[in-house]
Amino acid sequence: MQQLMSAGTVLFRDGTIFPEAFKCESDSYSHGWRSVKNLDGDGLDRRIREAGWHFFYFAGENKITVPGRECEQTMRKAIERILAGLTSEKTNSLEITRVAFRSFLGVPFTSVFFHMRNVQKSMFLLGDEAIQPWKDAGFIAA
């Protein structure tokens, strides 16, 4: 059974590589994405760091707003829209930081705020050697 989405919920892409020593429960949430069970972003960060890896938190809060009342169906619609808008393959997770249910002129809407996150072994953000264009570059002194 899927958990209700709320502040602190972390979603990660299917196929995300985690440290061998790291174990957590997750549920399939959407095509290509899973939700972490029983851990919020801070708890997940602690567990990943204990295993010797890093869980980066990208600056800049993002927001999506969808029409609808306070219910799981509206949250699912908002999160599906977030996931559909993610084009970067370099980040492998996101954390919901706030959820706001409001209305304007009697029309209810839901705003979901989130931060991109990234689980990786390297201490350098997105520091995989495969994406370092300068690694084998030849420099010429002028």
What pLDDT digit, counting tens, does each position of 105-121 carry? 999 999 999 999 888 88
Query: What's the pTM value of the predicted model, to 2 decimals?
Result: 0.78
Residue 136 lies in a domain: no
- Report the C-alpha gap between 100 and 71 in whole angstroms: 12
Residue 36 lies in a domain: yes
Closest CA to 16 of 35, 2, 38: 35
Residue 3 lies in a domain: no
pLDDT at 132: 39
∠ Cα 19 82 56 (to 5°)? 30
What's the mean pLDDT when you consider all of the chain? 81
The number of folded domains in the chain is: 1
- Report the C-alpha gap between 86 and 53 in whole angstroms: 24
Polymer length in residues for the chain: 142
Residue 95 lies in a domain: yes
Residue 141 lies in a domain: no
Domain assignment of residue 81, given as a range: 10-131
